[in-house]
């Protein structure tokens, strides 16, 4: 018993010392003056040099954390364990957060660099008047493919994925809206469809894709394509850009029936501590040079017109990643379909995984 | 022996006189065992809009979830069976070796490595240009798609569960009094009869414990189904994860969890031991 008490005491003392050391370390790191802001972003979605530059210029310390899905991000902001000052959700998540009253309005007078943004990306249906959000990056959903592993197949239409010569070659991203949306698009329906008949038809059609499906996975897609383990992948434009960065054989195409156009945006959660710091950070990220450097690093498409002029024309002229406005008309933005419809999409996705033809 | 009895009496006395000491344990059990299960049960009666309903249960008996349950059981059964077939001879052989503890340690060490790391390692090993396929190519075979198949899923799962199957079987085999085996031989039983009539029945509790430890988690694997099976095998665990994290339908997720708990109770009842016979019978 004595030993047990002694051991417990030792553990308590050691924990106390460790906690003290941690608090000391945190104190010194935030001693820059100007306070701190907590930034909550997708993984690999900012040039870390820019974070240091922001800290130097403003004296504000940035605590940076990452998430890997809109849903996880929203759950964490709702729970309010850590107070985040800036986050980068996608458009449908912003609609949802607005409904749940999780957003702090943005004072556009403080965002002087907003004039750098292409007006096409402002005042969009998910946030009229940019009351709560400022565009960060945008992109599409499409097909990444490696012609060196293929026999001349191209991907102008979604139906090309059903080509019988592609047996066991296609990787799909593990996300219900992207996959079911692709099924809907391939039939000429809207990827925001809520018509059960259309959804049923799309799911049944997807099941026949089974023999060609190699796997349904997440971020591992990038590695698989880089190492030429698979020839074709349904993925986001930015992931495709990541693949192409390493493996030059890879190409990307957005099929002509249409696809998804998405926007990630900077927001300030309602629970933010340092609202002024958050505004400063957002304004900083919109600076032309900063945005150009960031877009170079991240590889996604920037909505920042002034930055585009500073970037390599070979990149900004690439219609695979910067589709012209005319091409964008074929694309659709995800609408927030509500939790119930999201449930239906997921149940159909589960059914598709279960019943894929082998 | 009298010492032990005395201590037991003392312990009982102090139990009687000081129920106060039990409060932390009761608190623990209420907070971390009973409350979570009660919450799961509670949430399972609400739909996504927060209305009290039995729809989740009705929904569970729709074809998708029912077939999902069946396929989970089928894969868990295969994984358990193969683990048992590999682990039993291994455990038996271990009891015969000189440095039992060392060999045992070598079997256990892999289980200290994080599951995710092991899964990622297998992505590399089973890849088209990974070591497994290099070996195949070296012996003149074509490169095969190993990753994202039923084979790779079952192989990796069995690999992960084997230490958990070996350990209880080894313990119960090792506890068998060698005199019993000698007696069996002396009385004229063949090795086969000795095994089926003496060794196997005496070690059956180890087998049951091993089956529990493997079968129950195998029902709800979800990391491996995604990374190794590419979501072409899906289990109840996949469905629960999706309901909670993506769909945010806690009610449906909880309902699936309730059924998973029920299945676990059934498995434990079927394979349960009756009152610690291992120690009672043998010592």
CB contact under 8 A, A72 and B245: yes
Cα separation, B20 vs B16, in Å, equals 10
Q: What is the pLDDT along chain B (283 residues), one digit of tens a residue?
A: 445 555 555 555 555 557 788 888 999 999 999 999 999 999 999 988 888 989 899 989 987 889 989 999 999 999 999 999 999 999 999 999 989 989 999 998 988 999 999 999 999 999 988 999 999 999 988 888 899 999 999 999 999 999 999 999 999 999 999 899 899 989 998 989 999 999 999 999 999 999 999 998 999 888 899 899 999 888 898 888 888 877 778 899 999 999 999 998 998 888 875 544 444 443 3
Output the pLDDT for position B35: 95
For the entire predicted model, the pTM comes to 0.82
**Nearest residue in A to B59, CA atom:** A347
Measured between CA atoms, the residue of chain A closest to residue B67 is A354
Q: What are phi and psi of A124, to 5 degrees?
A: -85, 160
Q: Which of A8, A210, A218, A350 should we substitute to test contact with B (largest number of B Cβ atoms within 10 Å)?
A: A350
User: How far off is chain B from A227, nearest CA to CA, in Å?
Assistant: 8
**Residue B227 and residue A217: Cβ atoms within 8 Å?**
yes
B148 touches chain A (CB under 8 A): yes
CATH number for the domain harbouring residue B225? 1.10.3720.10
- On whether residue B38 sits in a domain, the answer given is no
Look at residue B228 and give its three-state secondary structure: coil
**Is it true that domain A2-138+263-321 has CATH number 3.40.190.10?**
yes
CB atoms within 10 A of CB A30: 14
Q: Taking CB atoms and an 8 Å cutoff, what residues of chain B touch A220?
A: 123, 227
Its CATH class, for the domain covering A139-261+327-355, is alpha beta
The ipTM value here is: 0.81
Whole domain around residue B109: which residue ranges? 63-282
Positions of CATH 3.40.190.10 in chain A: 2-138+263-321, 139-261+327-355
The per-type count for chain B, helices as H runs and strands as E runs, is 17, 0
In this complex, is the C-beta atom of B281 within 8 Å of any C-beta atom belonging to chain A? no
Structural domain includes residue B22 = no
Which residues in chain B are closer than 8 Å to A351, comparing Cβ atoms?
64
- Taking only residues 102 to 161 of chain A, the set having a beta carbon closer than 8 angstroms to any beta carbon of chain B reads none
Terminal C-alpha separation, chain A: 62
Query: Which long-range contacts does B125-128 make (Cβ < 8 Å, 24+ apart)?
Result: B126/B152, B126/B228, B127/A227, B127/A229, B128/A227, B128/A228, B128/A229
Question: CB-based contact (8 Å) between A78 and chain B?
Answer: no
Count structural domains, chain B: 1
Q: Does A339 touch chain B (CB under 8 A)?
A: yes
Q: Which of A135, A145, A118, A170 is nearest to A254 (CA)?
A: A145
Q: What's the whole-number mean pLDDT along residues A54-78?
A: 87
B-contacting residues of A 208-227, CB under 8 Å?
213-218, 220, 223, 227
Q: Is residue B24 in some structural domain?
A: no
Phi, psi of A134 (to 5 degrees): -125, 130
Give contacts of A168 with chain B, Cβ < 8 Å: 145
């Amino acid at each position: 018993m004595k030993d047990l008490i002694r051991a417990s005491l030792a553990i308590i003392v050691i924990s106390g010392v460790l906690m003290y050391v941690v608090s000391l370390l945190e104190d010194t790191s935030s001693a820059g003056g100007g306070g701190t802001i907590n930034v909550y972003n997708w993984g690999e979605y900012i040039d870390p040099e820019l974070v240091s530059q922001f800290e130097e210029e403003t004296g504000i310390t940035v605590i940076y954390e990452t998430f890997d899905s809109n849903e996880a991000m929203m759950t964490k902001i709702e729970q309010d364990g850590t107070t985040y000052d800036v986050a980068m959700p996608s458009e449908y998540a912003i609609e949802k957060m607005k409904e749940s009253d999780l957003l702090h309005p943005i004072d556009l007078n403080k965002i002087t660099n907003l004039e750098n943004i292409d007006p096409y990306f402002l005042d969009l249906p998910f946030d009229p008047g940019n009351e709560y959000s400022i565009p960060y990056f945008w992109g599409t959903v499409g097909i990444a493919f490696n012609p060196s592993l293929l026999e001349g197949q191209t991907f102008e239409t979604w139906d090309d994925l059903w080509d019988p010569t592609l047996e066991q070659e296609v990787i799909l991203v593990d996300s219900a809206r992207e996959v079911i949306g692709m099924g809907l698009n391939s039939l000429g329906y809207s990827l925001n469809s809520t018509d059960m008949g259309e959804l049923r038809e799309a799911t049944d059609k997807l099941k026949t894709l089974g023999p060609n499906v190699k796997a349904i996975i997440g971020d591992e897609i990038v590695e698989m394509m880089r190492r030429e383990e698979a020839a074709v992948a349904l993925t986001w434009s930015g992931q495709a850009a990541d693949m192409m960065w390493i493996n030059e054989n890879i190409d990307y195409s957005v099929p002509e029936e249409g696809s998804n156009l998405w926007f990630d945006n900077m927001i300030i959660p309602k629970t933010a501590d340092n609202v002024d710091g958050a505004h400063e950070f957002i304004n900083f990220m919109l600076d032309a040079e900063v945005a150009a450097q960031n877009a170079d690093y991240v590889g996604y498409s920037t909505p920042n017109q002034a930055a585009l002029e500073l970037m390599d024309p070979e990149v900004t002229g690439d219609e695979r990643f910067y589709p012209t406005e005319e091409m964008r008309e074929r694309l659709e933005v995800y609408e927030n379909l509500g939790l119930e419809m999201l449930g239906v999409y997921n149940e159909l996705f589960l059914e598709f995984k279960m019943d894929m033809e082998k | 022996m009298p010492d032990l009895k005395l201590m037991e009496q003392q312990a009982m006395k102090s139990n009687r006189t000081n129920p106060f000491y039990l409060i932390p344990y009761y608190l623990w059990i209420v907070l971390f065992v009973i409350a979570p299960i009660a919450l799961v049960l509670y949430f399972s009666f609400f739909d996504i809009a927060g209305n009290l309903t039995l729809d989740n249960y009705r929904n569970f008996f729709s074809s998708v979830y029912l077939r999902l349950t069946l396929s989970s059981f089928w894969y868990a059964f295969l994984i358990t069976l193969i683990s048992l077939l590999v682990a039993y001879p291994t455990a038996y052989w271990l009891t015969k070796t000189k440095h039992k503890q060392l060999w045992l340690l070598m079997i256990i060490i892999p289980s200290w490595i994080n599951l995710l790391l092991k899964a990622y390692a297998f992505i590399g090993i089973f890849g088209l240009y990974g070591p497994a396929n290099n070996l195949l190519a070296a012996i003149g075979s074509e490169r095969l798609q190993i990753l994202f198949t039923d084979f790779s899923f079952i192989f990796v799962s069995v690999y992960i569960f084997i230490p958990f199957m070996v350990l209880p079987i080894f313990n119960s085999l090792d506890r068998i009094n060698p005199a019993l085996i000698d007696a069996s031989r002396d009385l004229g039983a063949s090795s086969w009869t000795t095994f089926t009539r003496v060794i196997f029945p005496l070690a059956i509790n180890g087998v049951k414990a091993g089956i529990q430890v493997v079968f129950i988690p195998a029902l709800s694997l979800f990391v491996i189904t995604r990374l190794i099976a590419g979501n072409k095998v899906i289990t109840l665990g996949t469905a629960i994860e999706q309901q909670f994290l993506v769909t945010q339908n806690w009610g449906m997720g909880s309902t699936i969890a309730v059924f998973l708990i029920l299945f676990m109770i059934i498995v434990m009842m079927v394979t349960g031991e009756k009152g610690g016979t291992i120690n009672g019978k043998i010592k």
